[in-house]
Amino acid sequence: MRTGNRPEVALFVTCLVDMFRPNVGLAAVQLLARSGCEVVVPKHQTCCGQPAYNTGDDKVARRIAGQTIEILENYAHIVVPSGSCAGMLKEHYPKLFASEPDWSGRAKALAAKTYELTDFLVNVLGFDNVRAHYDGRVCYHDSCAGLRELGIKEQPRTLLKGVDGMSSVPLRDEEVCCGFGGLFCIKYPEVSGEMVGRKVKNIVASGADTLLAGDLGCLLNIAGKLTREGCNIRVWHVAEVLAGMTSGRAIGESEKRSAGN
Amino acid sequence: MPAIKSTCNEFRVNAGDAIRNRQLQTSLAKLGDGFQASRAAAVKELPEFEQLRDEARNIKRHVMTNLDTYLVQFEEKVLESGGRVHWASTPQQARETILSICRGACAKTVTKGKSMVSEEIGLNDFLAEQGIEPVETDLGEYILQLRKEAPSHIVAPAVHLSQQQIRQTFVDAHTQFAGPRDLSTAESLVDEARKVLRNRFFQADVGITGANYLIAETGSTVIVTNEGNGDLTQTLPKVHIVLTTIERVIPTLRDLSAFLRLLARSATGQEATAYVSLSTGPKREQDLHGPEEFHVVLLDNGRSKLLGTEDQDVLNCIRCGACMNHCPVYASVGGHAYGWVYPGPIGAALTPALIGLQQSADLPNASTFCGRCVQVCPVKIPLTDIMRRWRSREHSGKLSSPLQRALLRLWAVCALHPHVYHFIARLGVLIMYRLGRRKNRFRFLLFAQAWTQYRDFPAPQPKTFHAVIKKSGGIRYE
Amino acid sequence: MSDARRAIFSAISRNKKKIAMRCGKITHTIPLHARPPDRQLQKLFEEKAIASSATIDHIGSLKELPDAVRRFLCDHRRRTAPQRLFINHPLLTPLDWATVNEASVDVSADPAFFDADVGITCAFCGIAETGSLVLLSETGVSSAAYFLPGVLIVALPKDQIVPVQETAWAKVQRAYSRLPRTVTLVTGPSRTGDIEQKLVIGAHGPREVHMVLI
């Protein structure tokens, strides 16, 4: 359903963004609006259900998924600023309802019109009007679900080309998991700590002063390790840079550092 | 009851030890430029690789749907060629069958090719208890036997060791070489192992190998190797025993080639290993050498139970090791942390079926579901889906921790009741914002020590997204 | 253990149809690079064989073989002089091996010497796709002697090079109503990567594989 000739987009903001970094949601709204969309935020959205799903509570996962489908299914497009949550809706909701004929069709229909943010901007809207400026040497971490479930790889990089003043440096093992893994980082903290430690070593070795990624879980994990290690590297969600929302504090960045920005 | 003790549920402790083990970490660091890089190069040179994966998966699925037919055909052909087939439901039955064959041959020494199934049934210790000496001949397994360690990888069992450690092991164990000798290079170590094991090959009364494939069409067992030890093990002794499992059978020689194109590339990046050897029955009259008796021991140990289930695809495994080579968890902790025979993603997917979920629940949980294993598996086993289903069984069987269940139930209430969610989120965020405002991060968070022990937790912004959007009134909030 | 057999088969038949896994049509793709035009077959074979660390020589006819072997064994670059050559195929026994004897290498086709440091045999065929040799257990041949010597020399008629394994299997099955006890594809010398993933050529099997194409 279009409103006039503007594509209608429901933003599924994700619980992590809602609670820990609303700027990502605001950046997504801005980018979508600038690219000509009519953005809607359904107010009853909560969580995509991954915590229940990945801990094996299929019953609760289905209830949450069903609720989410009901909230979102009447919009023309659903856009998610997170590869793992978008993947949950696109790949796993149909699996959850595979043996329930009533819900299966609705899950598949929702999946067909759900997109991760950068993928939507590049491949559906053909958005190429990133008017942002960012001073920095940037490396990019490819979040696992986005990369392997949804094929998110080139899209954020394509969009970042439109950011003025920024240079990119390669990141060794950019596709290797950062160790967040939802509840994994709490259940196996030492292994998770080791994995994020390696990620941070690679980031430092890359010579970048900025890390970007498309998933807030990864970003919180990596940012937390960077500051624990005393590294002076700023961490943003890619949407924040694309929307030019980088004048405030980066994720986990202390007041002192951004004063010298 | 597993034949060998498992320490799967001590994964966290094992993992911690592994992470602090510098030597192990140095060895594991080589996986990236080693197996990962060589597989990537090999795959790049074969444009048909993806298609071959699909075809291999199809063949395996077809076999599983007709497993009994192919096993019957295989058995017939083995019997026709003068061999014998033994069936074993449990590890104990397999051990006893092998023992009785060895007794029949008055065996004192048994040489062994690399066999993960023999680990599964605890064969070596059992034979030793019965007064029969097992001699591992694969270089990695031989080194581990000297060190009394278990394999940590299914293709390169000693991948966790350094050259220096191996050198020391030889110095300590090979007392037959008096005086100093040069063991400073990998070549010299391999040379010494060759010398030492040459006599053992000749002395052996029985040779036991595994089988990468069983060919129903011809009644042949196939081993895919690089060292030549498997071949000497199956040719020189009077008796050749193939210890294998029921899901290894494939229909024809043509199918074998389909798998061979994937196996070495996925395992080590080679186009072909040095040896692919088919054994069909005992030696013929006119053969100069070869075993006089040929026995195939077919073990079930939980595989038939997997047939016809959603997890059946785990039986497709061709034991290439690609999954563990690419797993970031394996790369951090190595194979021993997994606590039983099969490490890495395949270990996490298969072990609960073989030794029970209660003994091994940590394995399918210790994954971030990053999905690299699924991408590289040559037979397209949906490893992460299978691990997730084990977590479901753990949950419905109430095996998971009560604290975890309670916290998740709390989260579920929030997720299912938007008003509750919004209220708790706004309150929690406000508190955390106020507490964390100065440094913008938490070095310590009550109830989240698992996080903060290893990293800071970034502080949130003052309001939730919903609060901001609702207030801004700029866009539809409905 | 027929109880076990019964138990296993009854479990299989009970379970296998519970959920039928979707299975596509069974097809067998042969990679394009393994199907060169016939005139390129030998070239591909040699390329792959050399990549697997084998060495190759060419002769015009079987009677030139002993000379080629002598040349190969007497290469001044050898670290240790070979001592004994075991002739491991009845087709090779009647050849005139005196020239090799003159180079101080004992030659014998006596099975008692199957554990010599050099062995020579004939391949049933060669596979171009991987540069592999197909060696069989046959009358008067020791399959153990394929793996024991430090140096393995294999004679292969050029016209017995087939493109892929599938062709080789079909060839073996046509020649033998029942598969020989041993059918081995040999691709280069033995090797191991068990020490720190370092490739070492020469493990338990031959350290050198030398092919003489006829």
**Could you report the per-residue pLDDT of C7-19, keeping only the tens digit for each?**
999 999 999 878 7
Distance between B116 CA and the closest CA of chain A, angstroms: 26
> Distance between the two ends of chain A, CA-based, in angstroms?
44
CA distance A66 to B416: 10
pLDDT-derived band at B404 (thresholds 50, 70, 90) equals confident
B408, B455, B478 ranked by CB distance to A224: nearest: B455
Residue in A48, A41, A54 with CA at minimum distance from that of residue A85: A48
What is this model's ipTM?
Answer: 0.96
pLDDT at residue B4 is higher than 80: no
More confident residue, A129 or C152: C152
CA distance A157 to A138: 11
- With a pLDDT cut of 70, the percent of chain B lying above it is 99
The tokens for A133 are 């400026």
CB A140 within 8 A of CB A52: no
Residue in C171, B436, C124 with CA at minimum distance from that of residue A249: B436
What confidence tens digit (pLDDT) does each residue in C60-97 have?
999 999 999 999 998 867 777 888 999 999 999 999 99
CB B240 within 8 A of CB B282: yes
CB B262 within 8 A of CB C171: no
* Helix, strand or coil, per DSSP, at residue C126: strand
What confidence tens digit (pLDDT) does each residue in B293-327 have?
999 999 999 999 999 999 999 999 999 999 999 99
Query: Nearest 5°: phi and psi at B241?
Result: -110, 130
Write down how long chain B is.
478
What confidence tens digit (pLDDT) does each residue in B76-102 have?
999 999 999 999 999 999 999 999 999
> Distance between the two ends of chain C, CA-based, in angstroms?
52
Residue with tokens 């991760």: A116
Residue with tokens 């090791």: B321
Cα angle at A249 between A246 and A251, to 5 degrees? 95
Between chains, do C28 and B275 touch, taking CB under 8 Å as contact?
no
pLDDT-derived band at B443 (thresholds 50, 70, 90) equals confident
What confidence tens digit (pLDDT) does each residue in B218-234 have?
999 999 999 999 999 99
C200 touches chain B (CB under 8 A): yes
Rg (C-alpha) for chain C, rounded Å, is 21
Please, which residues 11-50 of chain C have a Cβ atom closer than 8 Å to chain B? 11-13, 15-29, 31-33, 48
In this prediction, residue A4 carries a pLDDT of 64
**Run of H or E including A50:** helix A50-54
Distance between B365 CA and the closest CA of chain A, angstroms: 8
Distance between C200 CA and the closest CA of chain B, angstroms: 6
Distance between B98 CA and the closest CA of chain A, angstroms: 40
Residue with tokens 């949804």: A150
Tell me the average confidence (pLDDT) per consecutive run of 10 residues in chain A, 261 residues long. Answer: 76 97 97 96 96 95 97 97 98 96 96 98 94 96 97 98 96 97 94 97 98 98 96 97 95 65 41
What confidence tens digit (pLDDT) does each residue in B220-272 have?
999 999 999 999 999 999 999 999 999 999 999 999 999 999 999 999 999 99
CA distance A243 to A22: 13
* Helix, strand or coil, per DSSP, at residue A250: coil
C112 touches chain B (CB under 8 A): no
Segment C116-140 shows an average pLDDT of 96
Cβ atoms < 10 Å from Cβ of B113: 26
Average pLDDT, rounded, for chain C: 93
CA distance B84 to B49: 37
Rg (C-alpha) for chain A, rounded Å, is 18
CB A145 within 8 A of CB A215: yes
In this prediction, residue C151 carries a pLDDT of 95
Q: Mind spelling out the 3-state secondary structure of chain B?
A: CCCCCCCHHHHHHHHHHHHHCHHHHHHHHHHHHHHHHHHHHHHHCCCCHHHHHHHHHHHHHHHHHCHHHHHHHHHHHHHHCCCEEEEECCHHHHHHHHHHHHHHCCCCEEEECCCHHHHHCCHHHHHHHCCCEEEECCHHHHHHHHHCCCCCCCCCCCCCCCHHHHHHHHHHHCCCCCCCCCCCCHHHHHHHHHHHHHHHHHHCCEEEECCCEEECCCCEEEEEECCCHHHHHHHCCCEEEEEEEHHHEECCHHHHHHHHHHHHHHHCCCCCCCEEEEECCCCCCCCCCCCCEEEEEEECCCHHHHCCCCCHHHHHCCCCCHHHHHCHHHHHHCCHHHCCCCCHHHHHHHHHHHHCCCCCCHHHHCCCCCCHHHHHCCCCCCHHHHHHHHHHHHHHCCCCCHHHHHHHHHHHHHHHCHHHHHHHHHHHHHHHHHHHCCCCEECCCCCCHHHHCCCCEECCCCCCHHHHHHHHCCCEEC
The strands making up A234-237's β-sheet, listed across from edge to edge, are A163-168, A132-140, A210-213, A234-237
Between chains, do B329 and A55 touch, taking CB under 8 Å as contact?
no
Size of interface A-B (CB pairs under 8 A): 228
* Helix, strand or coil, per DSSP, at residue C164: coil
> Distance between the two ends of chain B, CA-based, in angstroms?
57
Between chains, do A148 and B328 touch, taking CB under 8 Å as contact?
no
Segment B353-358 shows an average pLDDT of 95
**Run of H or E including C192:** strand C191-195
CA distance C149 to C139: 20
Residue in B345, B347, B366 with CA at minimum distance from that of residue B355: B347
CA distance C90 to A237: 74
CB A41 within 8 A of CB A10: yes
Cβ atoms < 10 Å from Cβ of B399: 13
Angle between helices B465-472 and B418-436 (to 10 degrees): 100
* Helix, strand or coil, per DSSP, at residue A47: coil
CA distance B414 to B407: 11
Task: Show residues of chain B in contact with C8, CB under 8 Å.
Answer: 87, 89, 246, 298, 300, 304
In this prediction, residue B440 carries a pLDDT of 87
CB A210 within 8 A of CB A138: yes
CA distance B192 to B198: 10
Name the residue in chain B with its Cα closest to that of C189.
B274
More confident residue, A259 or C185: C185
CB C119 within 8 A of CB C145: yes
* Helix, strand or coil, per DSSP, at residue C120: strand
Query: Under 8 Å CB-to-CB from C18, ≥6 apart: which residues?
Result: B307, B308, B309
**Centroid of chain to Cα C197:** 25
Residue with tokens 């998770």: A192
Name the residue in chain A with its Cα closest to that of B36.
A173
CA distance B235 to B243: 15
Query: Under 8 Å CB-to-CB from C129, ≥6 apart: which residues?
Result: C31, C33, C34, C44, C48, C163, C164, C165
CB A10 within 8 A of CB A78: yes
Distance between A30 CA and the closest CA of chain B, angstroms: 10
pLDDT at residue B3 is higher than 60: no
Angle between helices B49-65 and B67-80 (to 10 degrees): 90
CB B121 within 8 A of CB B90: no
Segment B49-60 shows an average pLDDT of 97
Subunit partners of chain A (3 or more CB pairs within 8 A)? B
Name the residue in chain C with its Cα closest to that of B229.
C204
Q: Which 8-state DSSP code applies to residue C200?
A: E
In this prediction, residue A257 carries a pLDDT of 47
What confidence tens digit (pLDDT) does each residue in C75-85 have?
867 777 888 99
CA distance C188 to B190: 17
In this prediction, residue A260 carries a pLDDT of 41
Query: Nearest 5°: phi and psi at C167?
Result: -65, -40
Average pLDDT, rounded, for chain B: 95
The tokens for B28 are 């594991």
Between chains, do B228 and C147 touch, taking CB under 8 Å as contact?
yes
pLDDT at residue C188 is higher than 60: yes
B184 touches chain C (CB under 8 A): no
CA distance C74 to C102: 11
Task: Give B259-263 contacts, CB < 8 A, sequence gap 24+.
Answer: B259/B56, B259/B59, B259/B213, B259/B318, B260/B224, B260/C165, B261/B46, B261/B52, B261/C31, B262/B49, B262/B52, B262/B53, B262/B56, B262/B318, B262/B320, B262/B378, B262/B379, B263/B212, B263/B224, B263/B318, B263/B320, B263/B378
CB A71 within 8 A of CB A11: no
* Helix, strand or coil, per DSSP, at residue C84: strand
CA distance A195 to A178: 6
Size of interface B-C (CB pairs under 8 A): 275
What confidence tens digit (pLDDT) does each residue in B411-430 have?
999 999 999 999 999 999 99
**Run of H or E including C211:** strand C208-213
